[in-house]
């Protein structure tokens, strides 16, 4: 390091230095830093009584500008089945989670990967120390899988802090993940493979955007798998003048109240029958009542109050006081308030305890605190000890990698990648889509998913390319053991069908 202790010495030599630099030949540019080589490890587990041998490639992919300057590094973990035959016949899946700001750990260690975090069978938090177990429901039996941590998540970082704004937004995120996919296909010679995307939560927003973005670069997907979907944020954002989220979340409130036995006896008898009734009422009478606003006649309002209380398990007084509009966290606090308990936003089956039972909103989301400790501890142990990625760098599980996200499309309304998905279908009519949703997910309500898929403007002949599956669980439905098993069965059938164009 040069000596900078004497300001006077620097000032007195300034002119001489200028002359010398002018006269001397230009110095060569410093060489670009060498890429850190990936770590390759080999493993095996037992699935259905057979040995599944696989290789994991763990590394950082450099994302460069047009001049070849590295602007960011994206961390990834690629799982490939050994002796799987020609690469052109083996499906390849790219997986990521949401946030924005979430790493890929949830899908990776919850359902897709060959190792999973052991939760209690109903999805609740087990006692520490936590256990990582072989995942007999891994999707690796069906496809090779690449888990991607977008910039600002996991170990992925921008090369310089000031470059972060290029990646921390809807458009920049899609472009950088799209560039990662292009590079991976190129470096690993997988351009001829059947290709799939799987995203969860905001990862579904990214997946839809990527389908539209990459088709313009010659990358056509066989299938897109959406887990807990949000494409159009108008369906989720509670705001004055936007009543749509209240309508679309109502059936999820009903499911939650059913689970906690807060409905009238006739509604407690059959969950799916009750949900069908709640859906019909929400999209018709309730929707019309909210649309009328202050012009809603008094007698009609009284009828809506009664019905809304009936479908939510809340009191008529509470419903009336909140002007027929119940936001998520108020519902989570109020439903079990008499027991001094709350329900989760990500998974409303899970109960929490607040220090102040009288506060109008929960102190925390008990469904988030159920999953975060075991997934954090076990991933940090696994990536270093089993995958051999040795680093002191913090792995950003969820948040911490940036402060602000640029939504880019807000000037035109709510962020929405539904049209990008529609365009991808129009340009690649062989593409299939599978959407998985949980009844007890209040973060991305299942009825909002159904509504969104019915409103992307898809040409009628292509609607048969979309299939859905329901689960009696929440946002991360795979933490519930029966849903984990059902999800593997559903996904395997979809991957096989989309790979063969059935």
Q: What is the mean pLDDT of residues 358-368?
A: 94
Residue 500 confidence class, pLDDT cut points 50, 70, 90: confident
Helices (H) and strands (E) in the chain, counts: 16, 14
The rounded distance, in Å, linking the Cα atoms of 13 and 117 is 63
Instruction: Please report the pLDDT score of residue 408 as a whole number.
Output: 73
So what's the pLDDT on residue 501?
Answer: 75
> What pLDDT digit, counting tens, does each position of 105-145 carry?
999 999 999 999 999 999 999 999 999 999 999 999 999 99
Average confidence (pLDDT) over 47-76? 97
Question: Which band of pLDDT confidence, cut at 50, 70 and 90, is reported for residue 9?
Answer: very low
**Could you please report the per-residue DSSP string of 308-372?**
HHHHHS--HHHHHHTTT---HHHHHHHTTGGGT-EE-SS-TTSEE--S-TTSSS-SS-HHHHHHH
Q: Supply the pLDDT for residue 27.
A: 47
Domains of the chain: 39-235+373-500 (3.40.50.1820), 244-364 (no CATH)
Q: What is the pLDDT of residue 20?
A: 32
- Percent over 70 (pLDDT), the chain: 92
- Alpha-carbon distance of 208 to 424, in angstroms, equals 8
Mean pLDDT of 298-315: 98
Q: What is the mean pLDDT of the chain?
A: 92
* pLDDT at residue 203 in the model: 98
11's enclosing H/E stretch is helix 7-12
Q: Is residue 3 over pLDDT 80?
A: no
pLDDT number for residue 87: 86
Asked whether residue 47 carries a pLDDT value surpassing 80, the answer given is yes
Q: What is the pTM of this model?
A: 0.92
Q: Which residue has the tokens 């001094």?
A: 340
Residue-wise pLDDT tens digits, 234-287: 999 999 999 999 999 999 999 999 999 999 999 999 999 999 999 999 999 999
Give the model confidence (pLDDT) of 388-418 as tens digits: 999 999 999 999 999 999 987 655 579 999 9
pLDDT at position 35 is 83
Contact 418, 221 (CB under 8 A): no
Length of the chain: 502
pLDDT at residue number 149: 98
pLDDT band at residue 13 under the 50/70/90 scheme: very low
Average pLDDT over residues 275-300: 98
């Amino acid at each position: 390091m040069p000596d900078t202790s004497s300001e006077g010495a620097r000032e007195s030599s300034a002119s001489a230095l200028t002359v010398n630099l002018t006269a001397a030949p230009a110095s060569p540019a410093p060489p670009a830093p060498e890429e850190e080589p990936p770590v390759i490890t080999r493993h095996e587990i037992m699935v259905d009584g057979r040995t599944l041998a696989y290789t994991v490639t763990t590394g950082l992919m450099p994302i460069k500008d047009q001049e070849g300057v590295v602007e960011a590094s994206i961390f990834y973990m690629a799982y490939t089945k050994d002796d799987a035959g020609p690469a052109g016949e083996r499906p390849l899946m790219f997986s990521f989670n949401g946030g924005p700001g979430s790493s890929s750990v949830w899908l990776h260690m919850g359902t897709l990967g060959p190792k999973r975090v052991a939760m209690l069978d109903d999805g609740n938090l087990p006692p520490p120390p936590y256990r990582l177990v072989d995942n007999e429901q891994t999707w690796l039996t069906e496809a090779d899988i690449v888990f991607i941590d977008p910039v600002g998540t996991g170990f992925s970082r921008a090369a310089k802090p000031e470059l972060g704004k290029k990646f921390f937004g809807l458009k920049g995120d899609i472009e950088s993940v799209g560039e990662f996919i292009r590079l991976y296909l190129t470096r690993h010679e997988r351009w001829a493979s059947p290709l799939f995307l799987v995203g969860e939560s905001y990862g579904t927003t990214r997946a839809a955007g990527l389908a539209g973005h990459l088709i313009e670069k010659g990358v056509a997907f066989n299938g897109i798998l959406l887990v807990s979907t949000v494409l159009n944020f108008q369906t989720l954002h509670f705001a004055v003048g936007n009543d749509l989220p209240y309508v679309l979340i109502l059936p999820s409130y009903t499911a939650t109240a059913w689970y906690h036995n807060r409905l009238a006896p006739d509604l407690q008898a059959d969950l799916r029958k009750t949900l069908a009734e709640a859906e019909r009422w929400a999209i018709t009478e309730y929707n019309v009542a909210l649309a009328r606003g202050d012009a809603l006649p008094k007698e009609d309002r009284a009828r809506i109050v009664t019905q809304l209380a009936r479908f939510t398990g809340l009191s008529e007084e509470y419903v009336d006081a909140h002007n027929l509009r119940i936001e998520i966290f108020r519902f989570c606090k109020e439903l079990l308030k008499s027991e001094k308990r709350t329900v989760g936003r990500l998974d409303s089956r899970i109960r929490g305890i607040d220090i102040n039972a009288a506060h109008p909103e929960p102190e925390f989301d008990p469904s988030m605190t159920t999953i975060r400790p075991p997934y954090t501890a076990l991933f940090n142990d696994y990536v270093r000890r089993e995958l051999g990625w040795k680093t002191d760098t913090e792995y950003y599980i969820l948040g911490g990698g940036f402060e602000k996200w640029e939504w880019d499309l807000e000037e035109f309304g709510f962020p929405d990648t539904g049209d990008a998905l529609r365009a991808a279908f129009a340009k690649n009519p062989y593409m299939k889509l599978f959407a998985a949703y949980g009844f007890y997910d209040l973060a991305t309500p299942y009825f909002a998913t159904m509504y969104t898929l019915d409103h992307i403007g898809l040409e009628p002949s292509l609607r048969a390319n979309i299939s859905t599956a329901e689960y009696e669980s929440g946002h991360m439905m795979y933490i519930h053991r029966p849903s984990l098993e059902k999800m593997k069965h559903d996904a395997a059938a979809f991957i096989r069908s989309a790979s063969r164009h059935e």
